[in-house]
Amino acid sequence: MEIKIIRKEDNVLEFELPGEDHTFCNLLVNLLNKNPHVEFAAYKIEHPLIGVPRIFVRTDGVKKPGEVLIEVSKQIESVYEAIKEKFTASINERKK
């Protein structure tokens, strides 16, 4: 996954995710907004066919946006791992 930093300040981070779409961005922003140190998180895609998602994150200053993004990335990884385990168990059950 490519990440292109647009703006980086103490408690503000703006970056682009070329190649991603609403599916991943919705998950990312949803989890960011659930973090108690995030004051604001959102994304926009200028053009539905050729636009690149741009994510905005502002924290309360206790944690930097990069720190929160690492925490949220670990949460996303856990979600995908749980889904993978459930699919694997389901497929294995059908084989029996």
Domains of the chain and any CATH numbers? 4-95 (3.30.1360.10)
How much is the average pLDDT of 35-52? 93
Q: How far does the chain reach from its first CA to its final CA, in angstroms?
A: 37
**What pLDDT score was predicted for residue 93?**
81
| C-alpha to C-alpha distance for 95 and 5, rounded to whole angstroms | 46
pLDDT of amino acid 54: 97
Averaged pLDDT, 56-63: 97
pTM score, whole prediction: 0.85
Closest CA to 7 of 15, 44, 46: 15
Q: For the residues 56-66, what does the mean pLDDT come to?
A: 97
Looking at residue 70, what is its pLDDT? 96
Mean pLDDT of 31-49: 94
Residue 1 is predicted with a pLDDT of 84
pLDDT of residue 96: 66
Q: Is the pLDDT of residue 75 over 90?
A: yes
Does the CA dihedral 40-30-13-38 come out positive or negative?
A: positive
The HSE-up count of residue 15 (CA atoms within 13 Å, CB side) is 20
The helix or strand, by DSSP H or E, that contains position 19, with its residue range, turns out to be none
Residue 32 and residue 38 in contact, taking contact as beta carbons nearer than 8 Å: yes
Report the amino acid identity of residue 59: T
